């Protein structure tokens, strides 16, 4: 494969046809007990189609991000992953930047996520794009790892959509 550049990536809303590929990335990215089953991925797609995005290169899905909106103004990134062979090339950051843009348009002023305390690469990515570590939740994950809850302020004021 030719050298891949960030400009080669297309970010779009996920579709039902993408679920098998997203599930494979889940399996390659997370501990066995943490993998979202296909029915849960389909559920997220049904309740949050605008905030379930995929990163695609030459018709191949290389990553995804899922977010939901809570209380009408809090964006919650529930999952993000990039195919291991495409990591450390800026695609995770690109997905996060895009989901922030979408959530802002939808009225979110705060972005929240949780990350494993041991996932240094992800924690550093989130810190580098403006997240702050708020608190720790002991034994949050099935494998007993602690989670760090992180937040990012997207806007100082909540805009009311009329």
Would 18 be classed as within a structural domain?
Answer: yes
* Residue 66 belongs to domain spanning: 6-153
Q: Is the pLDDT of residue 158 over 70?
A: no
* Number of domains within the chain: 1
Q: 96 burial class (0-12, 13-18, 19+ CB within 10 angstroms)?
A: buried
For residue 14, being part of any structural domain is answered with yes
pTM: predicted TM-score of the whole model, two decimal places = 0.86
Buried b (16+ CB within 10 A) or exposed e, 112-140: bbbbbbeeeebbebbeeeebeeeeeeeeb
Length of the chain: 162
Distance (Å, whole) CA 5 – CA 126: 21
pLDDT: which is higher, 156 or 159? 156
For residue range 25-47, what is the model confidence (pLDDT) as tens digits? Answer: 999 988 787 788 899 999 999 99
d(CA 42, CA 17): 10
* pLDDT tens-digit series, residues 100-134: 999 999 999 999 999 988 888 889 999 999 999 98
Domain with 146 in it: what CATH number?
3.40.630.30
Residue 160 lies inside a defined structural domain of this protein = no
Residue 91 lies in a domain: yes
Task: List the structure tokens of 2.
Answer: 């030719």
- The answer to whether position 158 is within a domain reads no
């Amino acid at each position: 494969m030719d050298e891949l550049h960030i400009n080669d990536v297309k970010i779009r809303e996920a579709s039902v046809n993408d679920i098998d590929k997203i599930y494979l990335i889940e399996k390659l990215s997370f501990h066995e007990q943490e993998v979202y089953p296909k029915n849960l991925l389909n559920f997220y797609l049904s309740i949050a189609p605008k905030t379930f995005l995929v990163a695609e290169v030459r018709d191949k899905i290389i990553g995804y991000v899922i977010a939901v909106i809570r209380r009408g103004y809090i964006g919650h990134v529930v999952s993000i992953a990039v195919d291991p062979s495409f990591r450390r090339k800026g695609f995770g950051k690109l997905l996060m930047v895009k989901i922030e843009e979408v959530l802002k348009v939808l009225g979110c002023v705060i972005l929240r996520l949780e990350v494993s305390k041991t996932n240094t690469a992800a924690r550093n990515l989130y810190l580098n794009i403006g997240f702050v570590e708020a608190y720790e939740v002991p034994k949050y994950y099935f494998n007993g790892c602690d989670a760090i809850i992180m937040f990012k302020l997207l806007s100082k004021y909540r805009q009311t959509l009329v």
